[in-house]
């Protein structure tokens, strides 16, 4: 058996992951043609590269079908309930940075903090007869965050894309989405609430707690950790 390492199968996230491992003496590469989703590993024996969509890596880790995986810390927290029982964070990788933030119309001059959002939500519900809508695809992260901070009278509406447009289209009053520069938010007349974001995400190397770890698998992991330069 070998240790399976799940890596995003395309784009910048894949390239950056290859670079990150490469800089530490583990060469990951696509084998065969560029369109073929299979990979090769040089530098560590017994490590197998599995190319997957970044969004599926949390699920595969939780199911124990891969031993290790690279994906955004936001995706693991969003897709897995009690995530830290299923996977362990081995190392933040320092790229793929993005913040999950809550944004409201810039013209809401009276709303700058979560406190304000909560008060505005109460008044909005009283005036409109329904709970203030926040469009997002990060339901679990946003809900946990708002519960933790005691915000009430809101509802989450699902938005899988073009989330910044939902306020203008009047299908939501506020949004919660990933941003790195804030450019799209500004262009859509939105502003980010003050304070720390819902989650600061970056690409992270995860280890599955649910996969079968044979003795030889553990030896491979130890060798990999030593090569990558982090201890136990």
Partner 1 sequence: MADAAAIRDEAARLLAFFEARGAVRVETPVLQPAETLLDLYGEDIRARAYVTADPVVGEAMLRPDFTVPVVQMHMAHGAEPARYTYAGKVFRKQEEATHRAPEYLQVGYEVFDRADPAAADAEVFALIAEVLAPLGLRAATGDIGLLIAAISGLTTTARRKAALLRHLWRPRRFRTLLDRFSGRAPAPAGRADLLARADPMACDAPLIGLRSAAEIAERIEALREDAAAPPIPAHEVRLLTDLMALRETVDNIAEHLQDLAVDMPAIAPAVARFTARAEALAAHGVDITRLDFEGSYGRTSLEYYDGFVFGFYAETRPDLPPVATGGRYDALTRVLGQGGEIPAVGAVIRPELALQVAEGRA
Which residues of the shown chain bind partner 1 in the complex (CB under 8 A)? Answer: 81-82, 84-85, 105-110, 112-113, 115-116, 118-120, 122-124, 127-128, 131, 139-140, 143-144, 146-147, 149-150, 152-156, 167-168, 170, 172-173, 188-189, 191, 194
Complete DSSP assignment for 19-79: HHHHHTT-EEEE-SSTTS--EEEESSTTEEEEEE-TTTHHHHHHHTS-SEEEEEHHHHHHH
Using the minimum distance from each CB to partner 1, give the nearer residue, 41 or 172: 172
Which CB, 54 or 121, lies closer to partner 1? 121
CB burial of residue 101 (10 Å; 0-12, 13-18, 19+)? buried
State the nearest-atom distance from the C-beta of 11 to partner 1, in Å.
31
Please give the DSSP secondary-structure letter assigned to residue 7.
Answer: E
Q: How far is the CB of 194 from partner 1 (least distance, A)?
A: 7
Residue 91 or 153 having the CB closest to partner 1: 153
CB nearer partner 1, residue 5 or residue 121: 121
Shortest Å, Cβ 100 to partner 1: 16
Instruction: Give whichever of 64 and 105 is closer to partner 1, judged by the CB atom.
Output: 105
| Cβ proximity of 2 and 216 under 8 Å | no
C-beta closer to partner 1: residue 30 or 119? 119
Q: Report in angstroms how near the CB of residue 220 gets to partner 1 at its nearest.
A: 29
For residues 212 and 104, what is the distance between their CA atoms, to the nearest angstrom? 45
Q: 65: how many CB neighbours lie within 10 A of its CB?
A: 17
Helix (H/G/I), strand (E/B), else coil: 117 = helix
| CB distance 93 to 17 below 8 Å | yes
- Stretch (H or E) spanning 101: strand 98-105
What is the nearest approach in angstroms of partner 1 to the Cβ of residue 112? 5
The backbone torsions φ and ψ at residue 114, rounded to the nearest 5 degrees and listed phi first, read -60, -35
Shortest spacing between CB 173 and partner 1, in angstroms: 5
Smallest distance from partner 1 to CB 147, Å: 5
Instruction: Locate 32 and state its tokens.
Output: 């065969």
Q: Which is nearer to partner 1, 91 or 116 (CB)?
A: 116
Residue listed under structure tokens 């199968």: 9
């Amino acid at each position: 058996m070998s240790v399976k390492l799940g890596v995003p199968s395309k784009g910048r996230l894949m390239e950056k992951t290859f670079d990150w491992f490469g800089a530490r003496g583990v060469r990951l590469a696509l084998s065969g043609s560029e369109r073929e989703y299979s990979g090769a590993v040089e530098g560590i024996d017994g490590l197998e590269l599995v190319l997957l969509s970044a969004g599926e890596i949390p699920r595969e880790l939780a199911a124990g079908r891969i031993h290790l995986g690279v994906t955004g810390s936001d995706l693991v927290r969003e897709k897995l309930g009690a995530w830290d029982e299923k996977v362990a964070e081995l190392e933040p990788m320092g790229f793929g940075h993005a913040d999950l933030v809550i944004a409201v119309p810039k013209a809401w001059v009276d709303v700058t903090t979560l406190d304000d959002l909560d008060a505005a939500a109460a008044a909005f519900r009283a005036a409109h007869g329904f709970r203030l809508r926040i469009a997002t695809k990060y339901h679990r992260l946003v809900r946990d965050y708002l519960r933790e901070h005691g915000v009430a009278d809101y509802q989450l509406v699902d938005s899988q894309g073009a989330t910044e447009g939902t306020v203008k289209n009047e299908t939501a009053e506020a949004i919660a989405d990933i941003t790195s520069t804030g450019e799209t938010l500004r262009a859509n007349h939105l502003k980010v609430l003050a304070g720390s974001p819902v989650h600061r995400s970056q690409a992270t190397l995860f280890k599955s707690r649910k996969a079968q770890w044979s003795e030889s698998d553990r030896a491979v992991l130890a060798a990999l950790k030593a090569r990558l330069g982090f201890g136990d």
